[in-house]
Amino acid sequence: MIYIFGLLVLIIATLLAYKYAYLNDKDNDFIPDELEVFADEIAEELKSRVDNVKAEMCDVKDAAKNLVEQVGDVAEAAAGAKRKGRAKK
């Protein structure tokens, strides 16, 4: 019963805020314009972070590939093979 009463109070407060222009809603979808702008900013930030994570994952993948190739060289060196690669000057 108390949940229903709380919900009704919230609905009435929201409608009064719209009526007295505390909340702006120019497209009449009952979503405040301020909230729509905030959601768009969050979405843009999220997209940029996802792009950054993708780029970093590609770098990690390349580093892991090089690591796998070099682990074999370490095993061969432990077995007594000569060092591969550029000669030291």
**Is residue 15 domain-shared with residue 53, that is, in the same domain?**
no
| 89 within a domain of the structure (yes/no) | no
| Shared-domain flag, residues 22 and 36 | no
pTM for this entry: 0.53
Q: Are residues 45 and 69 in the same domain?
A: yes
The answer to whether residues 16 and 46 belong to one domain is no
pLDDT digits (tens, 9 = 90+) for 49-83: 999 999 999 999 999 888 887 887 777 878 877 77
Looking at the fold, whether 15 and 39 belong to one and the same domain comes out as: no
66 burial via Cβ count (<10 Å: 0-12, 13-18, 19+):
exposed
Tens digits of residue pLDDT in 36-58: 889 999 999 999 999 999 999 99
Q: Specify the number of domains making up the chain.
A: 2
Structure tokens at 11: 């609905």
Comparing 33 with 39, which gets the higher pLDDT? 39
In this structure, the answer to whether residues 40 and 22 fall within a common structural domain is no
Supply the range of the domain harboring residue 67.
32-82
Asked whether residue 19 falls in the same domain as residue 53, the answer is no
Give the Cα-Cα-Cα angle 66, 60, 43 (nearest 5 degrees).
160
Half-sphere exposure of 41 (CA within 13 A, CB side): 6
Tokens of 39: 């959601």
Q: For 3-27, what is the mean pLDDT?
A: 85
CA–centroid distance for 55 within its chain: 13
What pLDDT, on the 0 to 100 scale, is given for residue 27? 81
